[in-house]
A = this chain, B = another copy of it.
């Protein structure tokens, strides 16, 4: 089944990519833009068929490889359309 892992920089960690996106949008004429934060979305197709076990495995993968726990936080969810 499909599992999605979202990895974002923690609040308080400077996000230069997000800031660059915000400035580019302002330059393009978009107004009223506050904070912009850029993160990663990783979709994994797992052989696991039980949602709880798939979620647990994806959490373990995020801890060990996908996220850097020093500066990033992550969340795991099962896409509803899958």
Contact = CB atoms under 8 A, between A and B. Distances in A.
B41 A38 contact: yes
A71 interface: no
Given A25-B61, A28-B64, A45 B34 contact: yes
Contact of A44 (B36, B47, B61): B36
A67 to B, nearest CB: 12
A78 interface: no
27 contacts: A6-B41, A8-B41, A8-B43, A18-B43, A21-B66, A22-B44, A25-B44, A25-B61, A28-B65, A30-B57, A30-B60, A32-B47, A32-B48, A33-B46, A33-B47, A34-B44, A34-B45, A34-B46, A35-B43, A36-B42, A38-B40, A38-B42, A38-B43, A39-B42, A39-B43, A40-B40, A41-B41
